[in-house]
Structure 1
Amino acid sequence: MSTLDSPNRSKWRQFLRQVPFLAGLNEAAFEQVASACVRRELPAKTSLFYEGDEGYCLYVLGKGTIQIRKETASTPLVVAELHAGDVIGELALLDGQPRSATAITTTPCTLYELSRDRFLRCIQDHPELALAMVAVLTQRLREANEQLAHRQMPVETRLVAQLVARLALQPEPQIPPVLLGKLTNAELGRQLSTTRETISRKMDTLLQQGIVKRDTQGLWVLHPQQLQRFLKENA
Structure 2
Amino acid sequence: MGAVDLATLDRAALVELEAQRLWRPAGLAERKFRAQGLGGPDRCGGHSDWNRPVGFLHELRASSLCNPRNLKGGHMYLRHESLIGDQLWSEMRNLAPERIRPAKSMLLRQGDPGTQVILISSGSTLVTLAGANGERTLLAVRGAGELLGELAVLDAQPRSASVIAAEPCRVHLIPAPDFLAFVHKHDLTIPLLRHAIARVREAEVVRLEMATAPVPVRLAAALGRLVQAASRRGAETVVRLTQTELSQLIGASRNGVGSAIRPWRERGWLGTEAGGGLVIRDMQAIQADVLA
1:230: how far off?
5.3
**Contact 2:138-2:249 within 8 A present in 1 as well:** yes
- The normalised TM-score by structure 1 is 0.62
What is the count of residue pairs matched by the alignment?
Answer: 198
Corresponding residue SS for 2:188:
helix
- The normalised TM-score by structure 2 is 0.52
| Larger Rg belongs to | 1
Matching residue of 1:52: 111
Alpha-carbon distance in 2 for matches of 1:56, 1:149: 31
Alpha-carbon distance in 2 for matches of 1:39, 1:62: 11
Aligned mate of 1:145, from 204, 208, 227:
204
Moved more, 74-83 or 50-59: 74-83
1:139: how far off?
2.8
**Contact 1:161-1:231 within 8 A present in 2 as well:** no
Matching residue of 1:13: none
Code of the aligned partner of 2:85: A
Aligned mate of 2:192, from 128, 133, 139:
133
Q: Where does the alignment leave 5 or more consecutive residues of structure 1 unmatched? A: 1-17, 173-179
| Root mean square deviation of aligned Cα | 4.3
Q: Where does the alignment leave 5 or more consecutive residues of structure 2 unmatched? A: 1-79
In the TM superposition, 1:129-208 aligns within 5 A as: 129-151=188-210, 152-159=212-219, 171=235, 184-192=242-250, 194-195=251-252, 198-201=253-256, 203-204=258-259
Measured against aligned partners, the alpha-carbon deviations of 1:129-167 in whole angstroms (never above 9, x if no partner) come to: 113313421331331232134222222432355678899
Q: Relative to structure 1, is the Cα distance of residues 199 and 117 closer, same or farther in structure 2, using a 3 angstrom cutoff? A: same
Aligned mate of 2:157, from 97, 120, 123:
97
Q: Relative to structure 1, is the Cα distance of residues 118 and 33 closer, same or farther in structure 2, using a 3 angstrom cutoff? A: farther
Aligned mate of 2:123, from 55, 59, 64:
64
Matching residue of 1:4: none
Aligned mate of 1:119, from 176, 179, 194:
179
